[in-house]
Amino acid sequence: MPLLAVAQNANPLFRTNIASIEDSLLVWRRHLHQYPELSNREYKTAAYITARLQKLGLEIKTGVGKTGVVAILKGGKPGPVVALRADMDALPVTERVNVPFASKETGEYNGQPVGVMHACGHDSHVSILLGTATVLSELKKEVPGTVVFIFQPAEEGPPANEEGGAPLMIKEGVMDNPKVEAVFGLHINSQTEIGTIKYKSGPTMASSDWFTIKVKGKQSHGSQPWSGIDPIVVASQIIIGLQTIVSRQEELTKAPVVITVGKINSGVRSNIIPEDLTMEGTIRTLDTKMQEDVHERVKLTATKIAEASGATATVSIDTKTLVTYNNPSLVKRMLPSLEAAAGKTM
């Protein structure tokens, strides 16, 4: 039987203990929301987490994967080693919501000053994991096995030329001492009704591949476009071409595909056709074979469209995140716990 179900069935104080930390959860989440930090820069966040974990009498490791925090709870009964994971970094987004705990923090991203905000729920994830650690620590004697609490930095991706996130934590042995048998996590969603838990076996969150396309044309005056090769026009055609990969080339009844261009940089003056252009974007897929096929089609589409206009295009694709795959047998074993928490009409 899953860990939380054992604890809940064995100890009638389980729900009472959860209710007792409700106010603390609110305080933690609002503090973290007000003071967010970017990937690999979560120093104050890590210190805040550590200070609360120290009160629980857990074995604590800091500086894992640069700023990550790991806490270990050894239960009073024999059982497996299970990890619970939350991400803790924020995004380069300026908050515009008028609440007392709104973020006013700023940082630097890709050499540019930016606002910083928990726009993806990581403040809630950290608070939930702190709450879980608190409750399970109070019921330590009833816990079968060992629980490893992983507070992961840089989920959104480390800065350029830096290591970070889950790969670096794994590289530094977060899964080895003690040897973790299974990892569980969650993600909040503003579209999910309160009191509802959603789950999915198999591939559930898409892989994330980041691409860069550099288009080289020929500079000319804006009044004489025929004397140059406009990389901005070529890039706009490439962007439309990329969308036809999604709408006309991939079998979307099998699995979804998303291609997004999120950044374009070119030119210095409004009346000069520039020589080159750089665009950056992301590819999301849920199927490994489709992922490989999309990569090839992105390269083919960009290079051939550029060639047709007399320009050139080079494409580089960096695989950032693999598909999140929920082990079907673990999902099945966890269902009693989910149903106990939220009922069977999920």
28, 139: one domain = yes
- Confidence at residue 3, expressed as pLDDT on a 0 to 100 scale: 35
Secondary structure class of 225 (helix, strand, coil) = helix
Amino acid identity, position 157: G
Tokens of 144: 């079968």
- Confidence at residue 230, expressed as pLDDT on a 0 to 100 scale: 98
- Confidence at residue 130, expressed as pLDDT on a 0 to 100 scale: 98
131, 180: one domain = yes
284 part of a folded domain? yes
326 part of a folded domain? no
* The last residue of a domain, from among 188, 223, 256: 188
Q: pLDDT tens, 287-312? A: 999 999 999 999 999 999 999 999 99
Report the CATH number that the domain containing residue 153 is assigned in CATH. Answer: 3.40.630.10
- Confidence at residue 175, expressed as pLDDT on a 0 to 100 scale: 98
Please answer whether residues 56 and 133 qualify as being in contact, where contact means their C-beta atoms are separated by less than 8 angstroms: yes
Neighbours of 273 (CB within 10 A): 23
Residue bearing the bigger pLDDT, 333 or 340: 333
Please answer whether residues 275 and 216 qualify as being in contact, where contact means their C-beta atoms are separated by less than 8 angstroms: yes
pLDDT category of residue 197 using cuts at 50, 70 and 90? confident
- Confidence at residue 17, expressed as pLDDT on a 0 to 100 scale: 80
65, 135: one domain = yes
**CB within 8 A of 26, min separation 6: which ones?**
none
* The last residue of a domain, from among 125, 160, 188: 188
Distance CA 63, CA 229 (A): 50
76, 127: one domain = yes
Give the percent of the chain with pLDDT over 90: 84
Q: Please state the pTM of the whole predicted model.
A: 0.85
pLDDT category of residue 337 using cuts at 50, 70 and 90? confident
Q: Does residue 10 register a pLDDT over 70?
A: no
Helix-strand-coil percent breakdown of the chain, rounded to 5? 35, 30, 35
Neighbours of 228 (CB within 10 A): 18
Q: pLDDT tens, 204-263? A: 999 999 999 999 999 999 999 999 999 999 999 999 999 999 999 999 999 999 999 999
128, 252: one domain = no
- Confidence at residue 12, expressed as pLDDT on a 0 to 100 scale: 59
132, 240: one domain = no
Q: Does residue 144 register a pLDDT over 90?
A: yes
Which DSSP category does 227 fall into?
G
Which DSSP category does 214 fall into?
E
Domain of 309 in residue numbering reads as 206-321
330 part of a folded domain? no
Secondary structure class of 290 (helix, strand, coil) = helix
Q: pLDDT tens, 18-64? A: 888 999 999 999 999 999 999 999 999 999 999 999 999 999 999 99
97, 214: one domain = no
- CB-based burial, 87-102: b 16+ in 10 Å, e otherwise: bbbbbbbebeeeeebe
